[in-house]
């Protein structure tokens, strides 16, 4: 199988879109284009023609480039079937467990609602990459705009069951702030201490902290760790359920 290339495109203030392409097969997708211009420049710089646009959810900072890029390249737009009405220019709606092909590369669709009610992830399992939009961030998770803590916990749990060595590509560069918040909950987590120091070094040089990896998130992301004794002690929630602990962390992060 040919290689699936993935390249990060900074957009707006702190958004990331991603070029996902296999030049040998003549396929090139962009994930969550906030705006057309940086995507256009990235394509031109690599001599690529855009064939697909993939959207994880309807928010404008993930779909703002849809119509201009579709207009310019005739790209096919793929997004959550359950949010068909809110995805500009959508051609193909996909749902839970659908297998969608980019050339010979297969993405399994995971429905991961809560940030929005129809948010999806594109999991390229053979290519070891998952696009998680605004649901799972590096050391963080998205705000609950259209769902409950239980719903987000289920969505994150689904992502946690992916293979540990899968790279995680999320929608925003929020990593340093997320890491600082994580340290307030679990200051004794050595993996977390090491990671925040590393992230700080990268951000001082204005470098991206993405991609992460599923296993690294399991070890350092507090929203995936509500069973951590240290987190529970910090919150004084020794006997609470995982969802209750998760909900309290999310509440605190909203005010961090
Ligand atoms: Zn969003």
pLDDT band at 150 (very low <50, low <70, confident <90, very high): very high
* Residue 232 CA to ligand 1 centre (angstroms): 28
pLDDT of 1 reads 61
pLDDT tens digits for range 40-77? 999 999 999 999 999 999 999 999 999 999 999 999 99
pLDDT of 2 reads 78
Average pLDDT of the chain, as a whole number: 97
**pLDDT above 90: residue 173:** yes
* Residue 172 CA to ligand 1 centre (angstroms): 9
* Residue 15 CA to ligand 1 centre (angstroms): 10
Question: What CA–CA distance (Å, rounded) separates 140 from 172?
Answer: 10
CB count within 10 Å of CB 183 equals 18
Cβ < 5 A residues, ion ligand 1: 59, 134
Per the CB < 8 A criterion, the answer to whether 52 and 26 are in contact is no
CB count within 10 Å of CB 148 equals 13
Q: What percent of the chain has pLDDT over 70?
A: 100
DSSP string, 22-63: ETTTTEEEEES-S-HHHHHHHHHHHT----EEE-SS--HHHH
* Residue 235 CA to ligand 1 centre (angstroms): 27
* Residue 134 CA to ligand 1 centre (angstroms): 5
Work out the average pLDDT over 27-51: 98
Q: What token pair was written down for 152? A: 């987000």
Q: What token pair was written down for 27? A: 């396929």
* Residue 238 CA to ligand 1 centre (angstroms): 32
pLDDT tens digits for range 94-141? 999 999 999 999 999 999 999 999 999 999 999 999 999 999 999 999
Q: State the first-to-last Cα distance of the chain, in angstroms, to the nearest integer.
A: 45
Work out the average pLDDT over 235-247: 97
pLDDT of 210 reads 98
Alpha carbons within 13 angstroms on the beta-carbon side of residue 100 total: 27
* Residue 59 CA to ligand 1 centre (angstroms): 5
Provide the annotated active-site residues.
57, 59, 61-62, 115, 134, 172
pLDDT tens digits for range 202-215? 999 999 999 999 99
Q: Cis ω on the peptide bond leading into residue 211 (within 30° of 0)? A: yes
pLDDT of 7 reads 97
* Residue 31 CA to ligand 1 centre (angstroms): 13
**Tokens 């962009």 belong to residue:** 30
* Residue 207 CA to ligand 1 centre (angstroms): 22
């Amino acid at each position: 199988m040919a290689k699936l290339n993935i390249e990060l495109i900074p957009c707006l203030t702190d958004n990331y879109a991603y070029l996902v392409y296999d030049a040998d097969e003549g396929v090139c997708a962009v994930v969550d284009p906030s705006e057309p211009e940086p995507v256009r420049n990235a394509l031109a710089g690599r001599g690529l023609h855009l064939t697909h646009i993939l959207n994880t959810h309807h928010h404008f900072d993930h779909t703002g480039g849809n119509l201009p890029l579709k207009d310019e390249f005739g790209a096919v737009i793929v997004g959550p079937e359950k949010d068909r009405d809110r995805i500009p220019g959508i051609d193909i709606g996909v749902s839970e467990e659908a297998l969608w092909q980019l050339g010979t590369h297969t993405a399994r669709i995971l429905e991961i609602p809560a940030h929005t009610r129809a948010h999806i992830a594109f999991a390229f399992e053979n290519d070891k990459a998952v696009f998680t939009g605004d649901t799972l961030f590096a050391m963080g998770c998205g705000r609950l705009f259209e769902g409950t803590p239980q719903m987000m916990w289920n969505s994150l749990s689904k992502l946690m069951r992916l293979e540990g060595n899968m790279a995680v590509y999320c929608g925003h560069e929020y990593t340093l702030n997320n890491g600082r918040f994580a340290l307030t909950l679990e200051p004794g987590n050595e993996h977390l201490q090491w990671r925040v120091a590393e992230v700080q070094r990268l951000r001082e040089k204005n470098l991206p902290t993405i991609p992460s990896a599923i296993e690294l998130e399991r070890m350092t992301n507090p929203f995936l760790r509500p069973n951590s004794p240290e987190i529970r002690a910090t919150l004084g929630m020794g006997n609470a359920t995982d969802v209750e602990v998760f909900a309290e962390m999310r509440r605190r992060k909203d005010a961090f």
